[in-house]
Chains A and B, each alone.
Chain A
Amino acid sequence: MTDTTETPALAMQTGLLAELQDRFRRSAEYVVIPILALIVSGVLFSIFLLALGKSPADFFALVWRGGFGTSFSWQNTLVRSAPLIFTALCVAIPARLGLVIIGGEGALVLGGFAAAAIAVPMIDWAPVFVLLPVMVVAAIAAGGIWIGAVGALRHYRGVNETIASLLMFYIAVSVLNFFVEGLLRDPSDPNKPSTRPIGSENMIGVIPGTDVHWGLIVGVLLCVLLYLVMNRTTFGFAAQIAGGNLRAAQAQGLPVGKLMVVACAIAGACAGLAGFFEVAAIHGKANASLIAGYGFTGILVSFLARHNPLVIVPVAIFLGGIAASGGLVQRRMDLPDATVLVLQGLLFIVILVSETFYGRLSFFKPKGDR
């Protein structure tokens, strides 16, 4: 759409058309490559199943039924998707700055623990509308500080964020175990060391007509909000620049350190919120059940979604569905439940490898560049 003043109308129109075509080709890349990657992993996994003498068609039909086929399986899927949405955000937001955070599980565990711990002294007297907000704040603060510290260490001390967040996951787990098996252990529960239950009257309910708790809605809204923040605000723009070229961002006078800490704190807060919902909507107390691997699957979700908050929602539902179908696959096909893990790992590898094709397939390039 350059120098439109001098070009005749017709040329302008064809120019416009060509530009639209080019644009379409370039954005088609972001749709076609992931779909191809899904197909390739499906084919590879089918070969794996065939080699074991199992029918791939049966398998995929069962995954469909167990994950998305009935309203019951949909609800099962959505309950599993909710924490994945939050933990994927924990990877996606720092990824805009070029940071690879893999310790979202730690922020989830600590967030859930903080929510349950702060509730313990309040259960007897505080009404629900005081208790739950306090728990939310505690979870967000715990997760935010935890991952925010990783960002601060990265900027001010040059400590690698990937390793630091991983180490802090182990530390978070030991904090949880220390309190749950010691100071905050509920003596009336002889089985699994847990904090005192927050009580069913204080639990978050489900979306009317379903078994799915409100965390899903909050997660979807948070994705939209963070999409807008990362794509429509100065903060998001600055983060994008810092992620593209750190030196250039510093030369521009952008507060890179502050950006890193804030992005990481937002990320941690998201994962902390996941912990809150696990406690307030599912378990009712904090115990080792919080360490369910949602934080690690969230990494996969975020990479599949190419760190785009809006795409995280469908991807989380997709992977939640695969996980939900595990039980059915196990029962019907006599396959171990780890089958789903193999599929996830394969999917992850193929998606990562597909990154290499962006910008290299001539079909998607603008005409002049071929």
Chain B
Amino acid sequence: MSQEPGLMTVLLAMFAGAIRVSTPFLFVSLGEMLTEKSGRINLGLEGTLVFGAMSGYAISYHTGSPWLGVLVAGICGAGFGALHGFLCKLPKVNDIAIGISLMLFGTGLAFFFGKAYIQPSAPRLPSISFGGWSDHPGIRQALEINPLFLLGIVLAIFLWWALKNTRYGLIIRTTGDSAPAALALGINVNKVRLLSTMAGGFFAGVGGSFLSLYYPGSWTEGLSSGQGLMAVALVIFARWHPIYCFWAALLFGAAGALGPALQSIGISRGYHFFNAAPYILTLIIMIASTSPRRSLKGAPGELSITK
């Protein structure tokens, strides 16, 4: 360790960053994954995320309970999901475009109501210490883990199990793979998609509340660095698999932490390309794994972006 302190610092910073930054990615991408599994894409999760961050912070400020804030953020997110699901079921309405408009609308509403909450400070979410065994302050700090991160892992495993093994999972997958087949089975396609989008919105809202209530830990207008939009790429990267979503979220978090970590040991060149690494990687994976004749492996058949 003493031979290469620089490398250790970078690795530790990436590890800490992966844990700290990945939670919103994880929740938003799980939400997006669930929505896409039902055959619709929601590009508006960025707006949901930002609104979740604002509403969670506001509730935590007024009630003093950050967990109530998380819940309300999720409910607001489900509301945006319901709006998306309801509007997209109308004929000739494009789900991609509706997503963009809801992104604008959600962000606008969050900024509108959030003006009053930029100054005051609200109670933040607590963290659990897992680093007691180590003397290294860096490791101890890295292992200050937020309960939401653990909740996200549980959620990922649950979704993976539920999509594979339960009746509801089968209904969602059928709806996403072939609407005619789902219709033939007597499934109400629009209802399944509405509920999936609502659940996806709920997760995205919770992911947003993490931003304002834990890390960075306050409400500002520049809080989100596009995590909601990146989630769309992340889900493709993870091939619509909940467990891969978790690994992808960790990777995106670590990639984001790489730039500042390198800067801290004096390497500042190419810093911006490390920030872009997740996008470049996703693009390369999309190029490498698609062809004009078949869509991405694991992609829901009804999804407009892979058709």
Contacts and interface: CB of A to CB of B under 8 A. Distances in A.
Contacts of A353: 87, 90, 93
Contacts of B94: 100, 352, 355
Interface string B253-278: 00000000000000001111101100
A326 B230 CA distance: 29
A163 B110 CA distance: 25
A49 to B, nearest CB: 11
A44 to B, nearest CB: 11
State the majority secondary structure of interface residues on B: helix
B233 A167 contact: yes
Given A164-B286, A345-B106, A170 B276 contact: yes
What is the size category of the interface that chain B forms with chain A?
35 or more
A276 B182 CA distance: 50
A352 B108 CA distance: 18
A162 B305 contact: yes
Most chain A beta-carbon neighbours within 10 Å: one of B90, B97, B106, B293: B97
Nearest to A351: B101
B287 interface: yes
B294 to A, nearest CB: 8
Contacts of A356: 90-93
Given A157-B287, A171-B276, A300 B101 contact: yes
Nearest to B236: A163
Interface residues of A, number: 48
Nearest to B89: A356
Interface stretch (A21-29, A67-75, A221-229, A334-342): A334-342
Contacts of B287: 153, 157, 159
A338 to B, nearest CB: 3
A125 interface: no
B276 A174 contact: yes
A115 B293 CA distance: 38
Most chain B beta-carbon neighbours within 10 Å: one of A155, A158, A178: A158
A163 B108 contact: no
B96 interface: yes
Nearest to A159: B286
A358 interface: yes
Contacts of B291: 157-158
Contacts of B104: 296, 300, 341, 344-345, 348
Interface in B167-223: none
A205 B208 CA distance: 45
A343 B280 CA distance: 34
B51 to A, nearest CB: 11
A160 interface: yes
Nearest to B108: A341
Interface string A161-179: 0111011101101110110
Contacts of B270: 178
B68 interface: no
Interface string B65-106: 000000000000000000000010011111011101110111
A339 B96 CA distance: 24
A344 B100 CA distance: 12
B93 A299 contact: no
Nearest to A341: B108
Contacts of A102: 43, 96, 100
B111 interface: yes
A12 interface: no
A181 interface: yes
Contacts of B295: 158
Contacts of B92: 355-356, 358
A303 interface: yes
Contact of B108 (A178, A296, A345, A358): A345
Contact of B101 (A175, A177, A349): A349
B96 A171 contact: no
Interface in A308-353: 335-346, 348-349, 352-353
Contact of B105 (A164, A340, A345, A358): A345
A182 interface: yes
Contact of A348 (B93, B100, B269): B100
A156 interface: yes
Interface of B: 43, 47, 87, 90-94, 96-98, 100-102, 104-112, 115, 226, 229-230, 232-233, 236, 269-273, 275-276, 279-280, 282-283, 286-287, 290-295, 305-306
24 contacts: A102-B43, A162-B305, A163-B232, A164-B286, A167-B279, A168-B283, A170-B230, A174-B273, A174-B275, A296-B100, A337-B111, A339-B108, A339-B112, A341-B111, A342-B108, A345-B107, A345-B109, A348-B101, A352-B87, A352-B97, A352-B101, A353-B93, A355-B93, A360-B91
Given A171-B279, A342-B105, 11 more contacts: A157-B286, A162-B43, A174-B276, A175-B276, A182-B269, A296-B100, A303-B97, A336-B111, A338-B115, A344-B104, A355-B93
Interface of A: 100, 102, 153, 155-160, 162-164, 166-168, 170-171, 173-175, 177-178, 181-182, 296, 299-300, 303, 335-346, 348-349, 352-353, 355-356, 358, 360
